């Protein structure tokens, strides 16, 4: 039987939510005074959009085969990512067989080494890889988790990220991850405000519900050490991305200094098996959190997860909707998943990548049975203002 070949790789950009879920309208919790490394500059402390967190916007990648099947991948990448897809990488992918994911990934990574390795370029490689896994699922008429070796559990359980763990608890999630609001630039007053907020939330949810802090790379070793020890009184389950992603050595120092029962997690801004080797072996993190749309796609995430497993570490992908759900379903060392509460006040469950996808499933009662539809089981919302890259 002739294996279909990839006829065309197309890129689109779109603004307003979607894969660039930080690209929200004013007033959304996700842009409301969250601690970041830029907070040392007071003018950028109130909003992450103020320094361009949403500068890129969503990148949509479509891969069409010569049998008419179409695969869909999404990531953060916008116009520059679309240009890389159509003006560089499409030429390497078109004409290849839909089955040849490993060879294609190798060529995408090696052909962009001189300007890639992480960040926007690996986001773009990831977006293409996701589209190709979806395409293979469409051609084979099987969900991606079947292609990954099948399910190791019946359903997924989730923790929720957002400002309302108390509501997440009522909705059936297994824990709530709070964005940390104040970093070192706001001194002891900010540290106290962080702890007061954690204490108040612990009071609301009781002692048995997981509470975590997402520090979004905003702290230094001294502040993170003091914060972790003070937060241990309130049973903080994990402290996430406390330091700069390149400071693998600082993570190891923090791991040695922080309370033993508290977990150190990181990885959403890391890419490739080499980056995660550093995070695991040098950084000594307890849980790695790759984003499947940023780390190299499913093809690379398989390698990252196997590496983590060899260290006895869990892989809990950063919130990336269906693109990580199929992976988590198929991995023994992915015991739960993240759900980002993208409602502006986090008061209800809405699709994480809204309004980008049709048929995007959401947890009910904090749980989800992944639909058995082909590929990742979602379709592009063509009602959106989708733009192709400028070719000049």
What positions carry a catalytic annotation?
Answer: 318
Would you say 272 or 321 has its CB closer to ligand L6UHLTYX?
A: 321
94 marked as part of a ligand binding site:
no
20 binds, among Mg ion, ligand L6UHLTYX, none (CB under 5 to 8 A by kind): none
Would you say 29 or 209 has its CB closer to ligand L6UHLTYX?
A: 29
189 marked as part of a ligand binding site:
no
CB atoms within 10 A of CB 141: 11
Would you say 18 or 375 has its CB closer to ligand L6UHLTYX?
A: 18
338 marked as part of a ligand binding site:
yes
240 marked as part of a ligand binding site:
yes
Q: Smallest distance from the beta carbon of 28 to ligand L6UHLTYX, in angstroms?
A: 10
Beta bridge partners of 156: 368
Residues of this chain that bind ligand L6UHLTYX (CB under 6 A): 30, 34, 161, 179, 214, 216, 268, 318-319, 338, 340
Beta bridge partners of 213: 178, 239
Site string for Mg ion, 185-214 (x = CB under 5 A): -----------------------------x
Would you say 258 or 340 has its CB closer to ligand L6UHLTYX?
A: 340
Would you say 137 or 179 has its CB closer to ligand L6UHLTYX?
A: 179
Q: Smallest distance from the beta carbon of 287 to Mg ion, in angstroms?
A: 11
Q: Smallest distance from the beta carbon of 100 to Mg ion, in angstroms?
A: 33
161 binds, among Mg ion, ligand L6UHLTYX, none (CB under 5 to 8 A by kind): ligand L6UHLTYX
Candidates 74-82, 134-142, 260-268, 375-383: pick the segment binding Mg ion (CB under 5 A): 260-268
Q: Are 389 and 82 in contact (CB under 8 A)?
A: yes
Which two structure tokens, joined as six digits, stand for 330? 């198929």
CA pair distance 120, 354, nearest whole angstrom:
22
Would you say 118 or 373 has its CB closer to Mg ion?
A: 118
Q: Smallest distance from the beta carbon of 29 to ligand L6UHLTYX, in angstroms?
A: 9
* CA angle 281–284–285, rounded 5-degree value: 120
Site string for Mg ion, 263-292 (x = CB under 5 A): -----x------------------------
31 binds, among Mg ion, ligand L6UHLTYX, none (CB under 5 to 8 A by kind): none
Instruction: Mark the binding-site residues for Mg(2+), compressed into ranges.
Output: 214, 240, 268
Interacting residue ranges for Mg ion, rule: CB under 5 A: 214, 268
Instruction: Mark the binding-site residues, compressed into ranges.
Output: 22, 48, 214, 240, 268, 338
Instruction: Mark the binding-site residues for substrate, compressed into ranges.
Output: 22, 48, 338
């Amino acid at each position: 039987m002739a294996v279909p070949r990839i006829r065309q790789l197309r890129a689109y950009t779109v603004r307003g939510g979607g894969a660039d879920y930080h690209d929200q309208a004013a007033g959304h919790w996700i842009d409301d005074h969250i601690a970041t490394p830029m907070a040392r500059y007071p003018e950028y402390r109130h909003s992450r959009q103020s320094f361009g967190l949403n500068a890129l916007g969503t990148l949509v990648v479509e891969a069409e085969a010569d049998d008419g099947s179409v695969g869909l991948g999404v990531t953060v990448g916008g116009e520059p990512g679309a240009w890389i897809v159509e003006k560089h990488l499409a030429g390497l992918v078109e004409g290849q067989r839909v089955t040849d994911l490993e060879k294609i990934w190798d060529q995408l990574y090696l052909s962009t080494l001189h300007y890639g390795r992480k960040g926007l370029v690996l986001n773009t490689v990831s977006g293409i890889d996701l589209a190709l896994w979806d395409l293979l699922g469409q051609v084979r008429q099987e969900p991606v988790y079947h292609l990954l070796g099948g399910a190791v559990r019946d359903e997924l359980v989730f923790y929720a990220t957002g400002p309302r763990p108390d509501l997440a608890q009522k909705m059936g999630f297994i824990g709530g991850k709070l964005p940390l609001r104040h970093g070192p630039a706001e001194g002891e007053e900010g540290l106290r405000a962080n702890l007061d907020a954690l204490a108040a939330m612990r009071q609301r949810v009781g002692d048995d519900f997981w509470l975590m802090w997402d520090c979004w790379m905003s702290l230094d070793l001294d502040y993170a050490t003091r914060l972790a020890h003070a937060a241990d009184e309130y049973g903080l389950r994990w402290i996430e991305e406390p330091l700069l992603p390149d400071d693998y050595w600082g993570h190891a120092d923090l791991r040695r200094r922080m309370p033993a029962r508290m977990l150190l997690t990181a990885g959403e801004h890391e890419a490739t098996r080499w980056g995660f080797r550093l995070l695991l072996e040098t950084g000594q993190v307890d849980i790695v959190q790759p984003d499947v749309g940023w780390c190299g796609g499913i093809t690379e995430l398989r390698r990252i997860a196997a590496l983590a497993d060899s260290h006895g570490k869990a892989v809990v992908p950063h919130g990336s909707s269906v693109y990580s759900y199929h992976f988590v379903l198929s991995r023994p060392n992915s015991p739960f998943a993240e759900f980002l509460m993208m409602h502006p006040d986090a008061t209800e469950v809405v699709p994480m990548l809204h309004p980008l996808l049709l048929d995007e499933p959401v947890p009910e009662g904090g749980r989800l049975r992944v639909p058995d539809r082909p590929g990742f089981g979602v379709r592009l919302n063509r009602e959106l203002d989708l733009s192709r890259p400028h070719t000049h």
